[in-house]
Chains A and B, each alone.
Chain A
């Protein structure tokens, strides 16, 4: 008998009688200012939130925050008119010298300041983790109150790799002193873009 068979056999024999799945009785909170809550929480965990009216405003802001003496990689199509490296190499190690990566998040979560980012928006999976500074752009209307709504939104998408990013990488392993920039980005700047009326429907669909 293989270990697989032995384990499955023992589990089948020993598992208790069926216990049903509970109803997920979560009642959404109405009337919250989600963008405000999201901004407050993300700021409290070390992120920086900048509200912008347009992609052009974000472009200018990025230019002034990260003037580009060092390597910048941008994967936000709306910002491609600026002179930023958009090439994606096949070897993730080549991103080691990326000073700032600029990516789009699908949506944010108000209760915890997390942004859902999937492989299709990363260029390379290593990029959001290996860069020195991370910039994310999220549409203002795409903020959900809690993770429950977030997972409803994700549904059964096939994203290959997806991650919630909540602030810059951090550690408090040395005497509980919070240090930003453990192994990943030392800073996270989140652009919350006011939604224009011409793009009435935000939708997230995995591939």
Chain B
């Protein structure tokens, strides 16, 4: 079975609706994708409901993050000082390009061209792999899901489950081409074993390992990295040089705050009580070099926005994606950004509003994302606020703008409202094709209710006295 891969990085037009259309062409796949993610959401619910203190934990986590954002300057300095005392080299990168240059320089200094990397959404955000590849450095993503999409030339479609959009038969076919497994074998156990054997060779021969960071602790200058596979640890412990890339918002004040965050993280992500490994890197091992690259890339600007700074509280669990009715049915690649789903839709416009102007509209504003968020980010409120900012800045299409202007006129004028209501009912009743046609996306895969004979206004006028 061959998979039609979409390389989102090459897509010439970035539009959520158009990319979702592509995903929706295969209806059984959409149903399967939807159900698989809902299954993960249900596992999260089960795990959360087992802790009576769950809501207290969420509130505590949210408040710790508020404290972090309000004192980030001092926490960054405290973290830097303690990390240096621990023998770690700390670098600062203002943007993605500087981050990539710093990482490249460290790799050059280490004199290697072959490196392993565990999951890091920050390096996706900075397009590190592309940058290094064009400079002759081979980066092997070691998380199984990330390796699968890397072999296919794709970007991850989910921050926790990178190849959630792939079927096992397609992975079997991909592995037979790249890893030489027998064609037709799509047993997950077998395929995982094949990837394990292949990646073990990369672990054994790479002298430099890159990891992301889940939490950076100001009090101790240590970083915590969580995985289920053990790939971050294997990479780092077998390498001479460890580079950890971290956004400046990932700081938490004290080590014991990990008790709060690690209790929430895996339960929110996959319903596990904790990931298999929660590794605390406090000092490099004897003879090893350890670098931490602190990256801003727009975060310090976001910190100044009362409406949008809360997005910086995110701990990247992916719960908002698993629950989102739009994400589940449109697929991660429809968001054309390193981080998909509701959280991606409020992160991306902060990086490039024009390019990602479509994303805050890819939502029903149902609020499910905010309800599952372990750090209580007001995701759906931010989606709504971004829409307003985007329209004000003129980044919506002509039709949407025209629609909105017409609606503004209709709703602000009672007479026009009354007339257009009657006109609309008549049109829908006698000339439905004027509205229900292929040019109106609202009618795609939808059936509208039958048109009432009377407006509410008319009904009310007739009946207002009967119930008095």
Measured CB to CB, the residues of A under 8 A from B are 2-4, 6-8, 10-22, 24-27, 41, 45, 92-93, 96, 109, 111-114, 119, 124-126, 129-130, 146-148, 150-152, 154, 156, 158-177, 179, 181-185
Measured CA separation A6–B300 after assembly (Å): 10
How many Å from the CB of B186 to the closest CB on chain A?
8
A96 near B204 with CB under 8 A, answer yes
B447 within 8 A of A: no
**From B93, B166, B270, contact of A3 by CB (8 A):** B93
Closest residue of A by beta carbon distance from B146 = A173
10 smallest A-B Cβ distances: which pairs? A184-B230, A14-B304, A182-B229, A112-B273, A173-B145, A10-B300, A126-B237, A22-B63, A177-B188, A4-B92
B163 within 8 A of A: yes
Chain B: interface residue total (CB-CB under 8 A) = 87
**From A19, A151, A156, A174, contact of B69 by CB (8 A):** A19
Measured CA separation A154–B256 after assembly (Å): 9
A171 CB contacts on chain B under 8 angstroms? 144-145, 192, 228-229
Measured CA separation A84–B229 after assembly (Å): 27
A154 near B255 with CB under 8 A, answer yes
A183 CB contacts on chain B under 8 angstroms? 142, 196, 199-200, 203, 229-231, 234
| Contact A174:B171 (CB < 8 A) given known A15-B69, A15-B70, A166-B273 | yes
B436 CB contacts on chain A under 8 angstroms? none
A170 CB contacts on chain B under 8 angstroms? 228-229, 276
A11 near B144 with CB under 8 A, answer no
A27 CB contacts on chain B under 8 angstroms? 53
B45 within 8 A of A: no
B49 CB contacts on chain A under 8 angstroms? none
Q: A16-B306, A21-B63, A175-B168 are in contact. List 18 more A-B contacts (CB 8 A).
A: A7-B248, A7-B300, A11-B303, A16-B303, A19-B66, A45-B272, A114-B278, A161-B280, A163-B233, A163-B278, A164-B277, A166-B273, A169-B229, A171-B229, A174-B188, A176-B36, A177-B188, A185-B230
A173 CB contacts on chain B under 8 angstroms? 143-145, 148, 161-163, 192
Interface string of B267-288 (1 = CB under 8 A from A): 0001011111111111101000
Measured CA separation A112–B229 after assembly (Å): 17
A177 near B168 with CB under 8 A, answer yes
B220 CB contacts on chain A under 8 angstroms? 156
A129 near B263 with CB under 8 A, answer no
**From A13, A24, A45, A148, contact of B304 by CB (8 A):** A13
Interface string of B212-233 (1 = CB under 8 A from A): 0000000010000000111101
A126 CB contacts on chain B under 8 angstroms? 233-234, 237-238
B276 near A7 with CB under 8 A, answer no
B167 near A175 with CB under 8 A, answer yes
**From A14, A20, A156, A185, contact of B255 by CB (8 A):** A156
B59 near A22 with CB under 8 A, answer yes
16 contacts between A and B (CB under 8 A): A3-B92, A6-B94, A7-B248, A8-B73, A10-B300, A24-B256, A147-B259, A147-B262, A148-B260, A161-B281, A167-B276, A169-B276, A170-B229, A177-B189, A184-B229, A184-B276
Measured CA separation A174–B181 after assembly (Å): 15
| Contact A148:B256 (CB < 8 A) given known A3-B98, A126-B234, A173-B148 | yes
B40 CB contacts on chain A under 8 angstroms? 176
| Contact A14:B301 (CB < 8 A) given known A41-B273, A184-B277 | yes
B256 CB contacts on chain A under 8 angstroms? 24, 148, 151-152
**From A21, A41, A169, contact of B67 by CB (8 A):** A21
**From A6, A15, A154, A165, contact of B276 by CB (8 A):** A165
Within 8 A of A (CB), among B366-385: none
B453 within 8 A of A: no
Measured CA separation A93–B205 after assembly (Å): 9
The residue among B39, B191, B272 with the most chain A CB atoms within 10 A of its own CB is B272
Interface string of B29-45 (1 = CB under 8 A from A): 00000001001100000
How many Å from the CB of A158 to the closest CB on chain B?
7
B9 within 8 A of A: no
A159 CB contacts on chain B under 8 angstroms? 280, 282
How many Å from the CB of A177 to the closest CB on chain B?
4
B36 near A175 with CB under 8 A, answer yes
Measured CA separation A193–B220 after assembly (Å): 32
Measured CA separation A147–B273 after assembly (Å): 11
How many Å from the CB of A95 to the closest CB on chain B?
9
